Amino acid sequence: MEENMEEGQTQKGCFECCIKCLGGIPYASLIATILLYAGVALFCGCGHEALSGTVNILQTYFEMARTAGDTLDVFTMIDIFKYVIYGVAAAFFVYGILLMVEGFFTTGAIKDLYGDFKITTCGRCVSAWFIMLTYLFMLAWLGVTAFTSLPVYMYFNLWTICRNTTLVEGANLCLDLRQFGIVTVGEEKKICTVSENFLRMCESTELNMTFHLFIVALAGAGAAVIAMVHYLMVLSANWAYVKDACRMQKYEDIKSKEEQELHDIHSTRSKERLNAYT
């Protein structure tokens, strides 16, 4: 009988501990972090592969070659974009962890474990800093989303030309890379529907794959923007919570001080009355 009671108390204690742990999880920050990681992963992974596919298309079908020396050509720019993608992936992996940690501390996940905590000026400054930084990152991701839409537009035009050549017989359409700023004005890199390279490019799966990879990368950048907006809402709510907690803390300190003063006054009067009676 006693063993059953002890087992029941142990199960109850484990259940209460699990409920306490689940109640301390910042679910809003967790959802924003998952959305951020998903968006960054799609943007970085698909964007990297799409850039590699672009290099193959330019070299194979447009017959472009890397410029010798330190000349800044389209291939050098693509290599720079790849390195930027590596940096973005690493930076936002760390930033997502930092925001999750801030969410745990602000929502008071450790309050029940270590007792009432004090809201310090440093904590308020950290929350305000994260709000400002997240707002800047949101603007940066908006710019990245707008920039990623450019290759999607270019590949859509190319895909449309390929589609029109199959629908309209005898159509002679051309695509000049100079109109997109990929090559200089004096360098003519044009491909027309009557050329063999164009037909091979339209029939290949590489063009279709690269186009859809850029679309997924654009969707990933949009998901990162939504994650940043979500983070801004969470951080603003946490800031309001910290501000209210700070005011409540000051109120409790003033109230306890006044109660102590009243207690001292009553004690002094009681002693004076007792001395007068004696």
Map residue 192 onto helix, strand or coil: strand
- 247-271 per-position pLDDT tens digit: 666 666 677 777 776 766 767 766 6
Structure token digits, residue 212: 């859809």
Map residue 64 onto helix, strand or coil: coil
Residue 201 CA from chain centroid, whole number: 36
| Residue, of 133 and 198, whose pLDDT is higher | 133
**CA gyration radius, the chain:** 32
Q: Are 42 and 225 in contact (CB under 8 A)?
A: no
Q: Are 156 and 211 in contact (CB under 8 A)?
A: yes
Q: How many CA atoms lie within 13 A of 151 on its CB side?
A: 26
Task: With CA atoms as reference, report the closest residue to 47 among 182, 213, 219, 223.
Answer: 213
- With a cut of 70, say whether residue 59 has pLDDT above it: yes
List of residues 6+ apart from 185 with CB closer than 8 A? 178
Quote the Cα angle for 43-45-48, to 5°: 95
Question: What is the per-residue pLDDT for 133?
Answer: 93
- 87-137 per-position pLDDT tens digit: 999 999 999 999 888 877 776 544 544 444 455 556 667 778 889 999 999
Residue 276 CA from chain centroid, whole number: 74
pLDDT-derived band of residue 9, with 50, 70 and 90 as boundaries? low
Cα(157)–Cα(177) distance, integer angstroms:
12
Residue 184 CA from chain centroid, whole number: 36
Q: Write down the pTM of the prediction.
A: 0.77
Count of beta carbons in the 10 Å neighbourhood of residue 271: 10
DSSP per residue over 210-251, as a string? HHHHHHHHHHHHHHHHHHHHHHHHHHHHHHHHHHHHHHHHHH
% of the chain exceeding 70 in pLDDT = 69
- 215-249 per-position pLDDT tens digit: 999 999 999 999 999 999 988 887 777 666 666 66
- Average of per-residue pLDDT across 83-90: 93
List of residues 6+ apart from 43 with CB closer than 8 A? 85, 88, 144, 148, 217, 220, 221, 224
Quote the Cα angle for 182-184-185, to 5°: 120
Mean per-residue pLDDT of the chain: 78
